[in-house]
Structure 1
Amino acid sequence: MQQPAPSTSLPERARRVIPGGVNSGQRNVPGLTDLVISRAQGASFWDSDGRQYTDYHAAFGPPLLGHNDPDVAGAVAEAGRKLDLCGVGVTEGEIELAETLVELIPSMERVLLTSTGSEATFHALRVARAVTGRRLVVKFQGCYHGWHDSVSLNVISAPERVGGKDPISTGILPEVLDATLVLRFNDPDGVRAAFAEHGADIAAVIVEPVPHNVGCLLPEQEFLQTLRDECTAHGSVLVFDEVITGIRHGLAGWQGVSGVVPDLTTMGKAIANGYPVGALGGRADLMDQFSSRPGAPVFFAGTYNGHPAVVAAALATLRKLRAEPVHEHVFRLGERVRAELPGVLAPLGVPAVVTGYGSVFVTYFMDELPRTYEDLLANDTGMFVGYRRRMVDQGIFELPLNLKRSHLSYAHTDADVDRLLEATERAVREQLAAGDAVADLSGASTMGGAR
């Protein structure tokens, strides 16, 4: 085995043995390719050179309580002292977590645990096709549901790719892409038209109730209700992908906010404050089709499903969310950001709108709040990416990739928000003064989300 030379830097060592030097496609950020993280705590992380960053990227959203929350870390350590993975039967923690999710999430009558959100959405579509005997799946432009082939298309698409099939990866069979219908978000007429033409062959509709993988498109109530009505009328399965919205936007997820209840719900991210757990739950008649119930026909497996450490993390996270004013705190800070950033940006003369929900915020550089992905094509990508790159130099980390949202946690403070506002004003001024548009480094035609 070749040993690295003593003088070789950590990034160079990483690139020698890890393709691109990172273990997920969107961790390799142009201009920040030498970033090595050494520590994380509360609202911050530190790099290997000791620089501190106030973190609003938050790993695409899991640490709602903040990084390395002591109660969650303590629960994981305690679980590790008495139990590890046995891979047979069930643990008391798995039972308690499933009971808690059934209690909290309106659509959930049964629950199965996975290791990632992508696995949860994969199994949701598999069971929908199995019970309906149908071929087609409906998804929406701008929504991301994981890395598996049937939904790996039409997330952040270049203008010329909107309206057609836009896979985010090569290696996907054309016949798999052909079995997915891509519709326009917040377009109830388009949904009704698709069901009028294809309803007898639509197995499932899967949607991020808030498409956070393109920042934040807030759903219109008529749109979500149309999904529910059309699926009910045609015998199709409605899947809410609440991997992002679930728990972060409320203990009942977006279905608790909207009152629209899907047939199946997928969850992950904030459910365990960053530990690798996903969940799929919903109607008992659908969930009972999985082979975790002896004799059931839809295969379901995963060596690490329900691992004691991640179950302990999820239970500790949910207990803290129910016992402490976490949502009140992050919602208040989020409202501060959304209310005060426009006043910071207006004197600069740059077109900008600030949107979001709860603890999520995003600034688009355009004239009007977007309703659909097509509206987002007006966003000034050079300004969006450029000002965020300049924020990094000030120790404020909002992911400098096009359309990516930012998050607040229970560990962020009003002082952090004050500094965010000041840094944003300075970064946008600097970007305007530079007079040269930053190249579109977002990889717009291929970029997806993160599970």
Structure 2
Amino acid sequence: MKHLAERARQVIPGGVNSGQRSIPGLTDLVITHAAGARFRDSQGREFVDYHAAFGPPLLGHNDPDVSAAVAEAGRTVDLCGVGVTAGEVELAETLAELVPSVEKVLLTSTGSEATFHALRVARAATGRRLVVKFQGCYHGWHDAVSLNVISAPEKVGTHDPISTGILPEVLQATLVLPFNDAEAVRRAFAEHGDDIAAVILEPVPHNVGCLLPEQEFLETLRAECTRAGSVLIFDEVITGFRHHLGGWQAISGITPDLTTMGKAIANGYPVGALGGRADLMELFSSRPGGPAFFAGTYNGQPAVVAAALATLRKLREEPVHEHVFRLGERIRTGLAEVFASLDIPALVTGYGSVFVGYFMTGPARTYDDLLRNDANMFIGYRRRLLEHGVFELPLNLKRSHVSYAHTDADADHLLEAAASAASLARGDVLDLTDASTMGGADAHR
């Protein structure tokens, strides 16, 4: 019988159903079981999982409370495609209660859909053409924002699409600015402010690891958008609920006009959301007469809604954030000590449950700073971690995550493995000619 991975490649392009899932050196990875902080593959290998599917399972894989809620939903209600369910109402009320910017909210199936609709309604509301995004931020697969995520040095400062097949005129309607550069924002608004429909950003650009935002930068965005009548969109698909129940906007005190959410809402079940000012949200055609079309057969699917409600309930009632923040800080501190003891240049950073070790010196304020990262060491180190049963995605600049299911023993094991992996990786010379090896965006969004 053919190996499952080989069979997959016969009928699925590349053998996987989303970009970034086929990893050089791990092309025969077939997942057979996942629970808590671990997964197993068809070869019987078990890994402590710090990749966590780019971040959704904040509670850990197959959380029993979430699974029970999904099973109960399957016994009581199904997708009917008309009206609304009690669960949808409760979830919308919960999101409006938790997230400062959310007055009204609509559910989607993915984060990409949420950001797509956010840009569409911003243009509908303003009648303007231009969108501003930032180098290193990823907002999904749609054309207007499919550019300038992980760019080669010679591509920074130019339009750098992540896909072919995008119309040049679509790309020309997107302005790309450096993250954390308040002066660049002011210049862009001085020149184009009357035609800027929206500014969209990850408040923490986690698609390149972790660039923490400077408060002046966020305040400038809010002030310039308010002055010009542009829509400020926080893409909190990653930061929402993992960093705070109210998202990064609750941490920073900067309230956007629209917020997109996903990933940690439902602990791995496919849900996204778009919420914000009522006057903007009322423009969608979910309200009869709304001029901005909005639809999705699977929006508000009962099992997914049940997963979201169970996840948010647990986040509110149990010390999830306390646990993952403590472990995250312990891991960041421990990794910095390990690399220093080996005299390996490294910058370990992150926030809360997210950690990443760049192999470079100096600060990490902007994407330009990350061009100093030693990609050979970054990827080689993570490949060596696999030998110790530790899974951090072996692609350049990818972040790692702690879940509620991880333990202090898991952290101890990671730090022990890190010392061995880093020592061995110093002597590895990798073939990084394959662009996919260099890393990309969270293509499953």
TM-superposed CA distance for 1:436, in Å, is 2.7
What whole-Å deviation, never above 9, does each CA across 1:107-141 have from its counterpart, x for those lacking one?
A: 00000000000000000000000010000000000
TM-superposed CA distance for 1:348, in Å, is 1.3
Q: Could you say if the C-alpha distance between residues 285 and 313 of structure 1 is closer, same or farther in structure 2, counting changes exceeding 3 Å? A: same
Report the number of matched residues. 444
Matches within 5 A, 1:317-396: 317-396=311-390
Amino acid at match of 1:174: P
Amino acid at match of 1:251: L
Cross-structure match for 1:88? 82
Q: Could you say if the C-alpha distance between residues 62 and 88 of structure 1 is closer, same or farther in structure 2, counting changes exceeding 3 Å? A: same
Q: 2:150 aligns with which of 139, 151, 156?
A: 156
Q: 1:46 aligns with which of 40, 44, 48?
A: 40
Matches within 5 A, 1:26-105: 26-105=20-99
SS at match of 1:97: helix
Q: 1:400 aligns with which of 394, 398, 410?
A: 394
What percentage of aligned pairs have identical amino acids?
75
The CA distance in 1 between the partners of 2:248 and 2:92, in whole Å, is: 19
Q: Is the 8 A contact 1:169 1:446 kept in 2?
A: no
Amino acid at match of 1:18: I
The CA distance in 2 between the partners of 1:110 and 1:307, in whole Å, is: 18
The CA distance in 2 between the partners of 1:239 and 1:287, in whole Å, is: 13
The CA distance in 1 between the partners of 2:428 and 2:95, in whole Å, is: 51
Matches within 5 A, 1:253-264: 253-264=247-258
The CA distance in 2 between the partners of 1:17 and 1:270, in whole Å, is: 31
Q: Is the 8 A contact 2:24 2:437 kept in 1?
A: no
Amino acid at match of 1:443: S
Q: Is the 8 A contact 1:57 1:399 kept in 2?
A: yes
The CA distance in 2 between the partners of 1:118 and 1:163, in whole Å, is: 24
Q: 1:132 aligns with which of 126, 129, 138?
A: 126
Cross-structure match for 1:448? 441
Q: Could you say if the C-alpha distance between residues 438 and 426 of structure 1 is closer, same or farther in structure 2, counting changes exceeding 3 Å? A: farther
Q: Is the 8 A contact 1:108 1:265 kept in 2?
A: yes
TM-superposed CA distance for 1:447, in Å, is 2.6
Amino acid at match of 1:268: G
TM-score, reference length from structure 1: 0.97
TM-superposed CA distance for 1:445, in Å, is 7.7
TM-superposed CA distance for 1:424, in Å, is 0.8
The CA distance in 1 between the partners of 2:167 and 2:17, in whole Å, is: 24
TM-superposed CA distance for 1:438, in Å, is 5.1
Aligned Cα root-mean-square deviation (Å): 1.0
Q: 2:166 aligns with which of 172, 175, 183?
A: 172
Matches within 5 A, 1:244-323: 244-323=238-317
TM-superposed CA distance for 1:171, in Å, is 0.2
Cross-structure match for 1:122? 116
The CA distance in 1 between the partners of 2:431 and 2:145, in whole Å, is: 31
Consecutive unaligned residues of structure 1, counting only runs of 5 or more, are 1-6
SS at match of 1:154: coil
The CA distance in 1 between the partners of 2:34 and 2:435, in whole Å, is: 25
Q: Is the 8 A contact 1:240 1:262 kept in 2?
A: yes
Q: Is the 8 A contact 1:140 1:185 kept in 2?
A: yes
Q: Could you say if the C-alpha distance between residues 53 and 33 of structure 1 is closer, same or farther in structure 2, counting changes exceeding 3 Å? A: same
The CA distance in 1 between the partners of 2:137 and 2:438, in whole Å, is: 14
Cross-structure match for 1:439? 432
Cross-structure match for 1:4? none
TM-score, reference length from structure 2: 0.98
SS at match of 1:443: helix
Q: Could you say if the C-alpha distance between residues 400 and 445 of structure 1 is closer, same or farther in structure 2, counting changes exceeding 3 Å? A: closer
Amino acid at match of 1:396: V
The CA distance in 2 between the partners of 1:111 and 1:282, in whole Å, is: 7
The CA distance in 2 between the partners of 1:336 and 1:186, in whole Å, is: 27
Amino acid at match of 2:429: D
Q: Is the 8 A contact 1:264 1:281 kept in 2?
A: yes
What whole-Å deviation, never above 9, does each CA across 1:178-200 have from its counterpart, x for those lacking one?
A: 00000000000000000000000
Question: Runs of 4 or more off by more than 4 Å in structure 1?
Answer: none
SS at match of 1:96: helix
TM-superposed CA distance for 1:446, in Å, is 8.0
SS at match of 1:301: coil
Amino acid at match of 1:151: V
The CA distance in 2 between the partners of 1:51 and 1:155, in whole Å, is: 33
TM-superposed CA distance for 1:368, in Å, is 1.4
Amino acid at match of 1:439: L
Q: Could you say if the C-alpha distance between residues 445 and 338 of structure 1 is closer, same or farther in structure 2, counting changes exceeding 3 Å? A: closer
Q: Is the 8 A contact 2:143 2:166 kept in 1?
A: yes
Q: Is the 8 A contact 1:168 1:445 kept in 2?
A: no
